[in-house]
Amino acid sequence: MTMISQFLESSFSSLADLNKIDNLISSIESSRLALKSQSIDQNGSVKANEQAVELLNDLQEIIEVDDLPRLHDLIDLYGPLEILTSVEKQISDKVQLKQVHKLYEDYESINGQLINFSCIDLPAILENWSSSNIAEIDQILQSFGKFAIQLDDFHTSHEPSSALSNCYSQLQTELSTIVNDKLLKEQLQLILNQSVKDWEEKPITHETLELFSKILQIQSFDPLCNFNENSLWAFESLTNSFKLKFIYHFTGESETNRIDKPEYCLRYLQSYLSSSNIIAKAKFGKSFNKLRLKAPTFESCYIIALLNPLKSKFKKDLKQIVGDERMLSHLIFELQNFDQFIILNYNFNQLNSLLVYSLILSDEFIFNKWLNNEKNFVNHRYDELINSPVAFQIDHDVVEDGKTKPTKSSLNLKNLLEGITKNYENLPIKYQMRFLSEVQLKLLNFYFSVLKQGLDALDKLEKFDEVSYLERLCRLWCSSKFTIEAMSYWGESALFLELWSSLNQNDDLSTTFFDSVIMGYNKDIINRLPKRFDTYFERELNKSMKAYFQANHSWERTDYSENVLLYGSQELDSTILLISKDLKYLQKTLSNSDYLILKSDLTLTISKYFENNIIYSNKFSRMGAKKLKADYLKVIESLNLFKDTVNYGKIMELLQILETEDIEALLQSGEIKVLKDSQVRELLPRREKR
């Protein structure tokens, strides 16, 4: 194989410079003949010469027919010889050039026919339009059908490429322009308008149905027609009588043409549709369905055509009311209700054809006006609810017991946000996102800022008015917690799951739309409040326990009454009463789970208070330790606090060590499980000598 390679390289040293396939063929032919005439060379390389001649023969045949697959077989057999790879490239270029040449030849042929029909044939047909018109319509149908087939063949018979896409797009545009010839449409609709006049009351003839079908077929040859949005000419003829009545009632100086009452014309269409839809479907539906057009249902096509006069009217009205917030909002409210009526009652799925999208969403200027109106309204309503003198009063009646009781402001904010959501829940996703980001999330952030400022200010207050410190804490807790619970609920709803899915490319449904906002509320408000509840109860203990400390200035006594050793000190009653009232208020205000958590925290606070202020601040006789145990249990049990906590167990072990007679026996018994050895050693000096 190396000898063949050397021979070919020496014979075609300038092969890389060959630019034309004809030159290559000529070179190969000359070399092939020369090789045939050669005898054994000086090196005796007969076999190499024979293989080279065979290769060149194959190569010549390949070049003559542009046989790339066979050339690839040779490359697999002989390896990537320069002559083979060069021929491969040049044949590929030649094949591609042939394909492009054929593509443009076909394009020019079809485009020429389209132009000829548009400029000569169609005007001639329309000029000679006869009274019957059927022959002309059939001629147009036949021509359009031929063009449609040619375009399909053109698209499928060529290799996909940008050139094909461009040519095909241009041909589609040209055919679409011809189909939508203004005069053609007018002539066709004029004939059908006359044929279907009074169709609601009169029987429909076979000729009318045939004309209806043919006009539908003609428009179906428009390759750019969007049947889900554009009204079909045949249906415009069916709705022509409605259009004339609508214009009479809702344009000009008519009493019913009230720009401030869009619901008048919307109800008019609803009424007409309810009465005419079944009749239209019964008379024309079968003919429509036989055509198997790439269009929505008969009912949907009928509705799309009926909407045309309404769209024309409202486009004019919008120019007058776009600067009036109230009228614009009212119009959009009515349009939304109308669209929902159509969707729900007629199973209508062509949303871009409905009024809200056509008139509002598709117009960036109008949509932004609406969005700004909504923001102005919402901001004004938010200012009202947040600045109300009762904004942060807790409403204990609006939700059931065991749930977080909201403040007036958090409840009103929830209702306000849910009202906004109701307004846009039927909009396409991208418009919902605009409302959510520019209205709802901003309000939630505004409210967060107010609550955070309130918490920061609370730490600096030295005196309180009629609103206690505990109630202020609960107002902050309830405002934040109720809002968090609302966001958690919203995040699990179908609307916000869909919104989150559209944003979350990872398809991670373990998170929700509001998680980041909830995180902020938790981090900067909720998580900061438990410590302040603890501080509050420490202060309450300090204030209410003064009499207790005065009565128990020494714990080394041994002369306590049996009643005190069993039931604890009477001086604790005022403390228990004070904290009991607070706990009742918390139980009435917080959710069950939050209340239990705060009760657990209170157990810890009271236990630490006894530990730091009594146990580690005094010396104890055996009776003194027993008496303190009775006092501690009186507080815990009277307040119904938790005994199954580590801190409760720790206090009981501390008191057990102080009370026991034989400390060594106690330590060896294994009963001390919570305290560490270092804590035991630290406590021992608190035992009086026994």
What are 626-658's pLDDT values in tens digits? 999 999 999 999 999 999 899 999 999 999 999
Q: Could you tell me the pTM of the whole model?
A: 0.76
Residues 268 and 303 placed together within one structural domain of the fold: yes
Residues 207 and 339 placed together within one structural domain of the fold: yes
Rounded to an integer, the average pLDDT of 360-379 is 94
What are 261-288's pLDDT values in tens digits? 999 999 999 999 999 999 999 999 999 9
- Long-range contacts of residues 670-674, Cβ cutoff 8 Å, at least 24 apart: 673/649, 674/646, 674/649, 674/650
User: 423, 337 in Cβ contact below 8 A?
Assistant: no
Residues 79 and 187 placed together within one structural domain of the fold: no
Q: How confident is the model at residue 39 (pLDDT cuts 50, 70, 90)?
A: very low
Residues 190 and 61 placed together within one structural domain of the fold: no
Let me know if residue 235 belongs to a domain.
yes
Residues 515 and 555 placed together within one structural domain of the fold: no
What are 497-542's pLDDT values in tens digits? 777 777 776 656 667 788 899 999 999 999 999 999 999 999 999 9
Rounded to an integer, the average pLDDT of 538-548 is 94
Let me know if residue 37 belongs to a domain.
yes
DSSP state, residue 406 = P
What are 41-50's pLDDT values in tens digits? 444 455 556 6
Torsion of the alpha carbons at 381, 383, 388 and 392, rounded to the nearest 10: 100
pLDDT at 135: 83
pLDDT at 462: 65
The region of weakest confidence among 66-70, 326-330, 433-437 is 66-70
pLDDT at 489 over 50: yes
CA distance 92 to 130: 56
User: 196, 238 in Cβ contact below 8 A?
Assistant: yes
Residues 340 and 371 placed together within one structural domain of the fold: no
Residues 340 and 267 placed together within one structural domain of the fold: yes
Give percent above pLDDT 90 in the chain.
Answer: 65
Residues 464 and 581 placed together within one structural domain of the fold: no
Residues 64 and 7 placed together within one structural domain of the fold: yes
Let me know if residue 395 belongs to a domain.
yes
Let me know if residue 165 belongs to a domain.
no
Residues 241 and 332 placed together within one structural domain of the fold: yes
Let me know if residue 486 belongs to a domain.
yes
CA distance 393 to 60: 97
3-state secondary structure of 687: strand
Q: How far is CA 24 from CA 3, 4, 6, 16, 78, in A?
A: 21, 18, 18, 10, 19
- Maximum Cα–Cα distance across the chain: 140
Structural domain count, the chain? 4
Output the 3-class SS for 114-158: HHHHHHHHHHHHHHCCCCCCHHHHHHHHHHHHHHHHHHHHHHHCC
Residues 237 and 384 placed together within one structural domain of the fold: no
Residues 370 and 500 placed together within one structural domain of the fold: yes
The region of weakest confidence among 28-37, 229-238, 241-250 is 28-37
Let me know if residue 170 belongs to a domain.
no
**Residue 394 or residue 39, greater confidence:** 394
DSSP state, residue 273 = H
Q: How far is CA 4 from CA 13, 15, 45, 52, 630, in A?
A: 14, 16, 9, 6, 111
Rounded to an integer, the average pLDDT of 386-401 is 95
Last residue of a domain, one of 65, 98, 131: 98
What are 243-259's pLDDT values in tens digits? 999 999 998 888 889 99
- Average pLDDT of every residue of the chain: 88
Task: Tell me which amino acid residue 285 is.
Answer: G
Write out the residue range of the structural domain in which residue 440 sits. Answer: 366-524
Closest of 560, 556, 575, 550 to residue 630, by C-alpha: 560
pLDDT at 297: 93
Let me know if residue 659 belongs to a domain.
yes
Rounded to an integer, the average pLDDT of 65-91 is 78
CA distance 506 to 508: 5
Closest of 113, 111, 106 to residue 170, by C-alpha: 111
What are 553-577's pLDDT values in tens digits? 899 988 889 998 999 999 999 999 9
pLDDT at 380 over 90: yes
Let me know if residue 187 belongs to a domain.
yes
Q: How confident is the model at residue 158 (pLDDT cuts 50, 70, 90)?
A: confident
Last residue of a domain, one of 507, 524, 541: 524
CA distance 469 to 536: 8
Residue 617 maps to which CATH number?
Answer: 1.20.58.1970
